[in-house]
Structure 1
Amino acid sequence: MEHLDGNAAAGTLSEVFSLDVTVATATCAGCGMTGSVAQAMVYESAMGTVLRCPACDTVLLRVAHGGGEMHVEMRGVRLLRWAAS
Structure 2
Amino acid sequence: MKLRLALVLLAATIAPALAQSGPNESLQRQACMGDAMRLCGAYIPNRRKVQSCMASQVDQLRPQCRAVFDASVQAERSQSVRGR
The reply to whether TM is greater than 0.5 is no
TM-score for both structures, normalised by structure 1 = 0.26
Structure having the higher helix fraction is 2
Q: Which has the higher contact order (CA 8 A, sep 6+)?
A: 2
Structure having the higher strand fraction is 1
Q: Which has the larger radius of gyration?
A: 1
TM-score for both structures, normalised by structure 2 = 0.26
